[in-house]
Structure 1
Amino acid sequence: MHNFDMNLIKPFIKVYEFNSFTKAADFLDVSQPAISASIKRLEEYLGYQLFIRSGRNLTTTTSAQQFYQQVVGVIDVVDNAIDTKKQFIVTAPESILLQLIGLPNIQLIQSGDTEEKTFNDLRMRTIDLAIDNITQKDSNFCFELIHTEPLVLICCQNHPEIQGQISLDQYRQAGHVVMRLLRHNMHAVEFFSKTTILRERDVRVQVSSPANLMLAVQGTPYIAAMPAGLSHIAKSLNLQVLPLPFAISDIEYHMIYHKRFIKDPVHKKLRETFKDKLI
């Protein structure tokens, strides 16, 4: 491109991906007027409009969509060539993290509190991939079902009333330790249950992670539900692991990554590593 300023490409890509001048400016650590000026210069060079503003809404033109597809791959190749990072960063819930410990060149981080944080971290390349139970979709990302597991019930080995199995009446009458799913603003059992017969439970303790759930049940007459993938840890803590006394949906974990990496050979190898481990 004769006399073309390549520095105009990255602001365009970020405005396109965030669908926001403000977020693009924050990500690139520049002012919003600077982003607007870059887009205007790029539009003048290309000879067509890239974005249409209507109040607070921003719409990409068909020309912008075509231009993005042409340039995003080139920028990713350049970024990857100069990127000295040797370690992938991956987020996942605790029950999945513990199944992935020991994988080389991968830093594991527990999932964020909200789905929007996960999407933003992927957009901003703060993380390379996420594994999570996601309820909303975003057209910028790929979602691959990679693992399913049920919820199970845990209680002490020497529980005074529950031994080997639990009835629905015992479940209702027991004191409960619960874990709040912050993104759904409700407890795991209520979210995944297939029945509406569950009445208000006697919640005694509320925690934020499965590990704390197991520790809170230990040495008490309380019961709790947790992902089955942690059953081996529960048993090592001398806890019973039992099926729940009602129908419940499995937890579905998806591997989530930006569409820009669909054909990236290094990223494809990363995804295959997780498939081999979890499927």
Structure 2
Amino acid sequence: MSNVDLNLIRTFITLYELRSVTLAAEQLYVTQPSVSYALSRLRELFNDRLFVRSKEGMEPTAAAEQLYRELHGSLTQIETTLEGARSFDPSSSNKRFTLAMTDLGEMALFPRIFRRLQREAPNVELEVLPLEIDKVAEWMSTGRIDAVICSRPLPGRDINRQVILQDRYVCIMNGKTAPDQLSMDEFLARKHLVVSRSLGHGLAEEVLADLGLQRKVSLVLPHFSILPTVLGETDLLAIVPLEIAELFAEMHAEGAALKICPLPFEVPAIDVALYWSERSERSPALTWMRQLIIAALGVEGSGASGSES
């Protein structure tokens, strides 16, 4: 055990997260036989099957579950320490970064981030994961992701944040059926389109609950991207951040025009922020990536502040 190859541990963690030899090989940039050979060595090393084939993929055993909890954070800490001892040259690096964000962020913010990334680090790889607000704190603490862009505060004393934009929620609907002014009675009488709260946009719903009000929800979607098409073909109403509402309205300016209305009740403004683990500040590569995102989005200042715990 004293001479365990770190690559074996990387293979184990990748297999655990992807549950597929094929996908693990692709992510590790090795052949499938190499992953299979590494798995056989791991099984011999830990005296356990570790993974069992099923219809869903490679299912971890109880021993593998325990090993993952113990090894993942340790490997991340080792790699961060080693990386901190090296300089980082973005122009020649082929490092892979992982960022979690909603499809709203992908539409409104990601193009600016990726354009700058391509200009400064053409060989760097960036993976964008769909945001699951209930999981991101764990993902960050275990090193599954390098950073998060979202509008809801993430818990944890070791998580830092930088506000990248401020926004407010508005209503958006089909312009053909929209009233001149949206009253509370009209708001409650209309049928609503809601996007999954797992994406972190449930603040308006919480305010309505505090007011003792409940809206008529006719459709729940897992993503925001199809929302303008649905609104253009129905009389449904949706609540979205103003910046994305303006983008949706512009996209459909020549078709079924969408109308933006203020909410008929008060909802606090929202801070969209970049979050990262305090531990990652020891990594020159991750520090550079954060600074690139902040610069790409034109954020004034670059200081970090502790997240709400």
The answer to whether the 8 A contact 2:137-2:156 is kept is: no
* Count of paired positions: 237
> 1:190 is matched with which residue: 171, 194, 205?
205
Shift of 1:222: 1.6
Q: What SS does the aligned partner of 1:104 have?
A: helix
Do structure 1's residue 104 and structure 2's residue 151 form an aligned pair? no
How many Å separate the matches in 2 of 1:134 and 1:69? Answer: 26
Shift of 1:170: 0.6
Shift of 1:244: 0.5
Q: Deviations over 1:33-92 (max 9, x none)?
A: 9579xxxxxxxxxxxxxxxxxxx9xxx9xxxx9xx98995236546979x9634533221
Q: Return the letter of the residue paired with 2:205.
A: E
Q: Hey, what does 2:275 align to over in structure 1?
A: 256
Q: Deviations over 1:171-191 (max 9, x none)?
A: 01111111121277x955213
Q: What SS does the aligned partner of 1:137 have?
A: coil
Instruction: Specify whether residues 110 and 240 from structure 1 end up closer, same or farther in structure 2 by C-alpha distance, changes over 3 A only.
Output: farther
Instruction: Specify whether residues 26 and 206 from structure 1 end up closer, same or farther in structure 2 by C-alpha distance, changes over 3 A only.
Output: closer
Q: Which TM-score applies when normalising by structure 1?
A: 0.65
Do structure 1's residue 155 and structure 2's residue 173 form an aligned pair? yes
Q: What SS does the aligned partner of 2:135 have?
A: helix
Written as runs of structure 1 = structure 2, the 5 A alignment for 1:50-199 is: 73-74=81-82, 76-77=84-85, 85-98=94-107, 99-101=109-111, 102-105=115-118, 107=126, 109-117=128-136, 119-120=138-139, 123-125=142-144, 127-159=145-177, 162-163=179-180, 165-182=181-198, 187-191=202-206, 193=207, 196-199=210-213
Q: Hey, what does 1:40 align to over in structure 2?
A: none
User: How many percent of aligned residue pairs carry the same amino acid?
Assistant: 14
Q: Return the letter of the residue paired with 1:269.
A: W
- Structure 1 stretches of 5 or more lacking a match? 15-21, 37-55
Q: Hey, what does 1:204 align to over in structure 2?
A: 218
- Structure 2 stretches of 5 or more lacking a match? 18-34, 48-65, 119-124, 300-309
Q: Return the letter of the residue paired with 1:176.
A: H
Q: Deviations over 1:98-155 (max 9, x none)?
A: 2221332463625333432563266244x33221234442344333333332111001
Do structure 1's residue 267 and structure 2's residue 275 form an aligned pair? no
The answer to whether the 8 A contact 2:134-2:198 is kept is: no
Tell me: higher relative CO, structure 1 or 2? Use CA pairs within 8 A at least 6 residues apart.
Answer: 2
How many Å separate the matches in 1 of 2:174 and 2:129? Answer: 27
How many Å separate the matches in 2 of 1:273 and 1:182? Answer: 27
Q: What SS does the aligned partner of 2:161 have?
A: strand
Shift of 1:270: 1.8
Q: Which TM-score applies when normalising by structure 2?
A: 0.60
Q: Return the letter of the residue paired with 2:261.
A: L
Do structure 1's residue 223 and structure 2's residue 237 form an aligned pair? yes
The answer to whether the 8 A contact 2:173-2:238 is kept is: yes
Shift of 1:271: 1.4
Q: Deviations over 1:185-239 (max 9, x none)?
A: x955213x27723522121111122222222211322211012221232212121
Q: What SS does the aligned partner of 1:218 have?
A: helix
- Point out the structure with max Rg over C-alpha: 1
How many Å separate the matches in 1 of 2:242 and 2:232? Answer: 17
Q: What SS does the aligned partner of 1:176 have?
A: strand
The answer to whether the 8 A contact 2:98-2:129 is kept is: no
The answer to whether the 8 A contact 1:112-1:118 is kept is: no
Q: What SS does the aligned partner of 1:152 have?
A: strand
